[in-house]
Amino acid sequence: MTAQANPLRQLSLNRLRARTSEKWRTYPDDVLPMFVAEMDVLLAEPIVEAITEAVRRGDTGYPAGTAYGEAYGVFAAARWGWDGFAVERTSLVADVMEGILEVLDVVCGPTDAVVVNSPVYMPFYDFVKHTGRPLLEAPLNAAGRLDLDVLDEVFGRAAACGPRPVHLLCSPHNPTGVVHTAEELAAVAALAGRHGVRVVADEIHAPLVPAGARFVPYLAVPGTENAFAVFSASKGWNLAGIKAALVVAGPAATADLARVPWWVKESPSHLGVLAHTAALRDGGDWLDSLLAGIDENRRLLAGLLAEHLPQVRYRPGEATYLAWLDCRELGLGDDPAAIFLDRGRVALSSGPAFGTGGAGHARFNLGTSPELITEGVRRMAAALPPG
């Protein structure tokens, strides 16, 4: 591995405020943004080179080929030890949520239920409800992990709603950062098989699992032959604005994947496909440096909270650059992020938006410099009433 500088230490606040993306344009300049899942980094050089060379060639047409899927397969084998991947069981899509919606349209009826594990990524609620399908919650347990007994019960209710229910699994889990074990995933697959539930795993945060933890692709465990995974390099390499993603089908879901419309496969940005392919093929050293920086930031945040906000409970997750903060002992109500924004001028993600289990919580983005994390906690502490 080639040693690289920590990508999270390369940009000043002044340089970041020149950005025009959602993170830096949603709030006035006196607000420190620590909410949406964008990282404060420069792109890995192989990605810059891939995009720049394509633009110089005028190579800005429609996406084509299987290079993204091939790069994903090599990455999955090297990082996760998964050798069961087959590029012919993949399809390009614009992004993970569009991929999920397309899979739902193929395998789930318009009135069949969709199960999620709350608290969970906010758009799961908005996108599923927009389709008109009923959404059922199977809350995580007190440790923030999958509650298999609850999932068993909710799968039963989902099956009673209609013949083609789906479990939308977030793996690794957002917002808690939990990495599901192989045993947990195999248990999910067994329950899904028993109740006739199809599983669609959102694995967008999979690259953001450090060496000390083990990410297991859902399709690598027994009993997942008819399941799907949806993947993108966007979170690992900060490419949300250069869209591209992959739907990966289990061996028994190949015919379902073939029913995804052809125009969906042309929906990603061609530059996005090139960028994501370069990230997976040549961005490993940069990613390792990022993961080390995120780990440093987890420890920093834990220390800062212990010193300045000891009532806030924070269990550092194994994955992602997102921190899930239990602020209930502060007495700030269901939405402490609103208080932190109003009184402290620091923007966190609102806990209630993540569903059941989110009240009294807030999500804090660690994908930034140690200086801004320190300032964010200072502002949170300043938002508390005196005494």
Predicted confidence at residue 387, as pLDDT, reads: 63
Q: For 250-268, how does the pLDDT look when each residue is reduced to its tens digit (9 = 90+)?
A: 999 999 999 999 999 999 9
User: For every residue of 71-99, which 3-state class applies, written as one string?
Assistant: HHHHHHHHHHCCCCCCHHHEEEECCHHHH
Predicted confidence at residue 212, as pLDDT, reads: 86
Chain-wide mean pLDDT for the chain? 97
For residue 310, whether the previous peptide bond is cis, meaning omega lies within 30 degrees of 0, is: no
- Residue among 263, 215, 265 at smallest CA distance from 244: 265
Which residues are CB-neighbours of 90 under 8 A, at least 6 positions away?
66, 68, 69, 72, 246, 247, 248, 249, 257
The enclosing H or E element of 222 equals none
Q: Are 347 and 34 in contact (CB under 8 A)?
A: yes
Band of residue 297 on the pLDDT scale cut at 50, 70, 90: very high
Predicted confidence at residue 3, as pLDDT, reads: 66
Q: What is the pTM of this model?
A: 0.96
Predicted confidence at residue 283, as pLDDT, reads: 98
Predicted confidence at residue 344, as pLDDT, reads: 98
Residue type, 115: V
Q: Phi/psi at 346 (nearest 5 deg)?
A: -130, 130
Rounded Cα distance between 171 and 178, Å, is 8
**pLDDT above 90: residue 243:** yes
Domains in the chain, please, with CATH?
7-43+284-382 (3.90.1150.10), 61-282 (3.40.640.10)
**pLDDT above 70: residue 1:** no
Q: For 130-167, how does the pLDDT look when each residue is reduced to its tens digit (9 = 90+)?
A: 999 999 999 999 999 999 999 999 999 999 999 999 99
Mean pLDDT score, 295-312: 98
Q: Which residue has the tokens 């200072």?
A: 378
Band of residue 119 on the pLDDT scale cut at 50, 70, 90: very high
Q: Phi/psi at 66 (nearest 5 deg)?
A: -120, 20
Cα 368 to the center of its chain, rounded Å: 17
User: For every residue of 306-355, which 3-state class applies, written as one string?
Assistant: HHHCCCCEECCCCCCCEEEEECHHHCCCCCHHHHHHHHHCEECEEHHHHC
Torsion of CA 60, 66, 71, 72, to 10 degrees: 110
Q: For 160-219, how does the pLDDT look when each residue is reduced to its tens digit (9 = 90+)?
A: 999 999 999 999 999 999 999 999 999 999 999 999 999 999 999 999 999 889 999 999
